[in-house]
Chains A and B, each alone.
Chain A
Amino acid sequence: MAHSARRDSPELPDFSLLKRLARDQLIYLLEQLPGKKDLFIEADLMSPLDRIANVSTLKQHEVDKLYKVEYKPVISTSDQLCFLIRPRIQTVKWICDVVNADKAAGKFRRYKLIFTPQKFYACEAVLEEQGIFGDVTTDEWAFYLLPLDDDIISLELPEFFRDNFLAGDQRWVRTAGSTLHLLHSIYGPFSKIYGIGRCSKMAYESWREQVEEGETKARQAEIGNVFLIDRDVDFVTPLCSQVVYEGLVDDIFRIKCGCVEFGPDVTSSDKSMKVMLNSQDKVFNEIRNEHFSNVFGFLSQKARNLQTAYDKRRGMDIKQMKTFVSEELKGLKQEHRLLSLHIGASESIMKKKTKQDFQELLKTEHSLLEGFEIRECISFIEEHINRQVSMIESLRLLCLLSITENGLLPKDYRSLKAQYLQSYGVDHLLTFANLRQLGLLVEQQPGETLTVMESKVGKLVNDKTAGKLTDAFSSLAKKSNFRALSKKLNLVPKSDEEYDLRVPRDMAYIFSGAYIPLSCKLIEQVLERDGWTGLEEVTRLLNGHEFAHSDRAKNDAQRIVLVMFLGGCTFSEISALRFLGRERGYKFIVVTTAITNSSRLIEALLDNHV
């Protein structure tokens, strides 16, 4: 809560500029289609759009009616239709249907497709195939970055994860490069860039190319260092249950585009309520990074203070009362409302977590991280499956088991998979195929047992296995080598030591002191060493693809570090970085393709539906 930041902590750049840029570009594009028009917006673009513009902005530029893209026939009577969409084939196909239906009905309209953040050739190929290439005009809206908070910027591209890591489609590499380019041209020049992961490396190269294509203007740098990291470098962290307040709220209520919907059980009324969660919310700002166990104490203290402040008005005379009302009351009321919301949320979290044996669940996760009593963990997971407790949760635990153990024994794999299919449906055969392809849930290969033993005792893993691809089809899957990495980087603090969650001593506090997130530990190490020197063993266990490039002399913004997660990052990781920043005098800016958590990660890989 009251962590005092280091004095020399620098200020964060102002990212509201990004919103303004995006808005101006959108207006420009709308003006390209003069006259009244109806606007169709892709469903998941609505919230991001709401953050940068509102209806009156659109109306000012002759947008008549707004619709959500729902893949149904359109009922608009306007003679100009504008579509604001992601470059997705399904959406383009629907637009083709719309246009072709109009043609068949002899209806004549003008159509404009605005792809954001960019268009793909594949989409145009569909337009051509459906015979409407030329009947429509296309444009790109380079809306790459949405600032969600002072230190969080999102690309709002959740599909990045599946496209890149599961399908092996590199369509977003250029997007990532352009994103960096945009940040570089506004807040750069960067002085150093580090990274790890295949996609990170490609994104870096794409950015370099784009820098060379355009001219760079000399300016005062506002961002010093950049760190790029692929999500598949660390799957363990996003698969763990979150216990830091903001992460918990995301796990339970799902924060969408920086906004959460609290149901009647939280608001203690009959209405649901949408609330923005960011640093503007003073109460939230103080508890967001706290371990949940500290939140109660803080809220109680706040409630008492508030009571005292209100009580002041007893015994006031008219004049004092007037001052009170005009100066303090509004602030108090605001605080009061926020406080009761977060108390309601905490209560609701407690209730939900108590109901589902959260304690035992955490214990299992911690055992898996420690590599301790694996048999018991397996039978816990098995019972979870047998009782048909949450389909996602069971899968998450299976994946966590597989990555921490470098795969399951064939006998366990078969038995758990069979039981899973019995409990949640045979359709999940497809899900299991996906998880295997990604390397998230695999059988140990015969002959690897020795390697597992070796890595358990912390010995070197030989080259043969470290980067080895299991077979041609799952060439994107990697071995996790988690145990060895954990030893090497001390990710699991010794369990016999005390851990005071009120005064965290390292980033492990975000997991109750049980585990330091691998992703954040890597960032810490590389920043400390100013590169990968001394981490050779670690990068080998991570299957390589690390890089570090010095661009120019150090600038004044050395302590402002931009971390870009390709494939998503969790609120827990953001909390851990904020902690690291406070300890070491850095300010971190997190850029992510989307905010993720264990459920979103697993859901992206499900294939039991059409």
Chain B
Amino acid sequence: MMKSKPDEEDYWNSSKFKAFTFDDEDDEFSRLKESKQAVNSIRRLVEEDDDEDDVEKVSWSGEPVGSISWSVRETAASNQRTDREPAFPKINADTPTVSRSHSGYSLSSLFKGETALSDSSVRLYAPELRKPKSEYKDYVSDWSPEETVHRMQQGKAVSLEKFRSLQDKLLLLDFSISAHDGNVITAVTLFTITFTVLFRELESRQTALRHFIHYLTETRDQRLLLELLRALGRTEDIALLQYKEHLSIADENKRRDFLKSCLSLPFSPEDSAHVQDHYTLLERQIIIEATDRQAERGGKVEIFQKFPRRASILNMPLITTLYYCCFYHYTESEGTYSSPLNVRQTFRISEKQFFVTALAARAKLKAWVDVDALFTSRNWLGFTRKKSPLGFHRVVDILQKNSAPTQVLQEYVGLVDDAELRISLAQKHKCHDIIINTYRDLKDRQQLLGYRGKVERGSVEERKINELLDNPQIRWKN
């Protein structure tokens, strides 16, 4: 982000923010370094019998010995070591027969008030610690909807059997909604909405609806969920939900085919275009991947030998794919699938975006000629000059991150418009010429004098500074 120059200066020079800079190697940082040295110098003394005093209960290995996390790891390790015996569990003679649920299917039977709910649920509170709820011995009786909800909140046994008419069910549902307890709302919704014809009842009960949707999402009941959304006419949600399924398809060809089938889903027009792009991209990636894998194995294409591919390009984002194409297929004609220009055109990539990606890829390869060519444009007189859709300080940043040599950096640092920024970048990257020239242009004798002290004695830079300072033609401002 670039603020206009005076603003920027105001911003950083105002004492409000000046106190704190991450960028400069300022005094604070060097002070920190000093203190580190100081601390390190006394380390030897301390390390003699280091083990006895821990910072906390935590040991050097990370986890405290005897901690639970530590023990779990031990178990896992020992399980890998020991041979697994076929496990024939010893069955204790005194093991009681486990009671089985009579029904496994209808949700409503869950709430029939069987003792299963109350006998084992021990709810403990601070004031009444160790008082299992089973002591209450609640048995089913004729609770009103309100009381039923209330008891459910407390985890007590209830019977939902008697709520059979639609009216009763909805009454119960509404009481649960007004109690705000999501746990109970879900339970009652599951009990109430056993038939899809009741979906419409949920429309006027958004809270219960949200609980039901969340439950179906968590249990991954895709079929019922889609049915519900269809009944509610929530087409965009349906589209997204179905589209999401592609994530669980590992095989790339199947995934591509699935994405193709998604194209007809009722997305918003905007999202529809994105999904189309997704499909097209994967289709191409599959082609590129097959070709390149072969080329790499064949061992005849130099670039793959010099820079073996680290990972497959399948399922990577578009920009990563573009980067890949700029890296391995830069010079290809627009006719091929892997040509950067073709990718750019197919996916309507902006000039700036293309530029940034190509720059990073070519810089990574240290193809400085390509980098140079990216900036070159001819004006009507035929002169070439450097132009960039990206601020030159960013360009420098990208180049520097790809470890460009100083000569290359220097060229682009020199193109940074803002003098302050140019100087600070030049200092960071040790481009002496630029600093000296900038001070000369600013006619800032004092700064130049100061800078002389920072360059090496007897160096070319020092000589240059001296020449400038001795030059009678320059009208210094200070």
Contact = CB atoms under 8 A, between A and B. Distances in A.
A424 B315 CA distance: 11
Given A293-B19, A338-B55, A170 B353 contact: no
A359 B72 contact: no
Contacts of A66: 68, 71-72, 75
Nearest to B33: A347
B247 A128 contact: no
B66 interface: yes
Nearest to B213: A167
B53 interface: yes
Contacts of B90: 79
A205 B180 CA distance: 9
A202 B180 contact: yes
19 contacts: A47-B69, A50-B68, A65-B75, A68-B72, A77-B89, A90-B218, A120-B186, A128-B109, A130-B104, A135-B101, A168-B210, A170-B185, A214-B127, A296-B32, A303-B38, A336-B42, A354-B22, A419-B353, A424-B317
B214 A29 contact: no
Interface string A506-519: 00000011100000
A134 interface: yes
A340 B247 contact: no
Given A79-B92, A429-B275, A126 B219 contact: yes
B189 to A, nearest CB: 10
Nearest to B25: A354
Interface of B: 1-3, 7, 11, 14-17, 19-23, 28-29, 31-36, 38-40, 42-43, 45-46, 50, 53, 55-58, 60, 62-64, 66-72, 75-76, 79, 84-85, 87-92, 95, 98-101, 103-105, 107, 109-110, 116-117, 120-130, 152-155, 180-187, 190, 206-207, 210-211, 213-215, 217-219, 234, 237, 240, 243-244, 247-248, 270-271, 274-275, 277-278, 281, 315-320, 347, 349-350, 352-353, 356-357, 360, 390, 394, 397-398
Contacts of A497: 16
A364 B2 CA distance: 10
B1 A171 contact: no
Contacts of A280: 56
Given A128-B101, A383-B390, A336 B20 contact: no
A346 interface: yes
A379 B356 CA distance: 14
Contacts of B186: 120-122, 169, 171
A502 B126 contact: no
A292 interface: yes
Interface in A124-157: 124-126, 128-135, 137-140, 142
Given A21-B129, A28-B124, A185-B125, A174 B153 contact: yes
Contacts of A302: 35
A552 interface: no
Nearest to B219: A89
Contact of B240 (A108, A425, A433): A433
Q: Is the interface of B mostly helix, strand, loop or mixed?
A: helix
B79 A297 contact: no
B106 to A, nearest CB: 9
B89 A56 contact: no
A134 B32 CA distance: 63
Contact of A121 (B110, B318, B319): B110
Q: Which has the most chain B C-beta neighbours within 10 Å: A50, A170, A424?
A: A170
A147 to B, nearest CB: 14
A462 interface: no
B39 A56 contact: no
A334 B243 CA distance: 56
Interface in A241-271: 243, 259, 261, 268, 271
B327 to A, nearest CB: 14
Interface string A389-407: 0000000000000000000
Contact of A304 (B38, B117, B390): B38
Give me the 9 closest cross-chain CB pairs, A-B, nearest first: A170-B182, A380-B1, A121-B187, A171-B182, A303-B35, A293-B20, A168-B210, A276-B56, A134-B101
Contacts of B153: 174, 209
B201 to A, nearest CB: 16
Contact of B116 (A118, A133, A171): A133
A206 B181 contact: yes
Contact of B274 (A25, A418, A473, A475): A418
B183 A171 contact: yes
A169 to B, nearest CB: 4
Given A185-B127, A273-B62, A275-B55, A386 B353 contact: yes
A152 to B, nearest CB: 16
A340 B20 contact: no
Q: Which has the most chain A C-beta neighbours within 10 Å: B60, B70, B182, B214?
A: B182
Nearest to B55: A275
A131 B100 CA distance: 9
A387 B129 contact: no
Interface in A426-453: 426-427, 429-430, 433
B270 A414 contact: yes
Interface string A339-368: 111011011001001100111100110110
Contact of B122 (A29, A53, A107, A418): A29
A553 interface: no
B358 to A, nearest CB: 12
A177 to B, nearest CB: 9
Contact of A300 (B1, B19, B32): B32
B147 to A, nearest CB: 13
A337 interface: yes
A138 B22 contact: no
A425 B398 contact: no
Contacts of A281: 55-56
A163 B120 contact: no
Interface stretch (A526-534, A539-547, A602-610): A602-610
A25 B180 contact: no
A137 B96 CA distance: 13
B440 to A, nearest CB: 28
Given A47-B69, A79-B89, A336-B39, A213 B154 contact: yes
A54 B32 contact: no
B105 to A, nearest CB: 7
Contacts of A122: 183, 186-187, 190, 215, 218
B215 A276 contact: no
A133 B104 contact: yes
Given A108-B95, A499-B15, A77 B218 contact: no
A500 B19 contact: yes
Contacts of A273: 58, 60, 62
A310 B45 CA distance: 9
Given A122-B190, A377-B1, A169 B182 contact: yes
Nearest to A174: B181
Interface string A73-113: 00111110000000011100100000000000001111000
Contacts of A47: 69
B16 A513 contact: yes
Contacts of B353: 386, 419, 422
A316 interface: no
Contacts of A192: none
A388 B319 contact: yes
Given A182-B125, A214-B127, A304-B38, A55 B71 contact: yes
A80 to B, nearest CB: 9
B19 to A, nearest CB: 5
A164 B186 CA distance: 13
Nearest to A391: B317
A28 B183 contact: no
A366 B275 CA distance: 35
Given A28-B122, A338-B55, A512-B20, 6 more contacts: A272-B62, A274-B58, A296-B29, A303-B39, A386-B353, A498-B16
A535 interface: no
Contacts of B76: 67-68
A513 B14 CA distance: 12
B247 A608 contact: yes
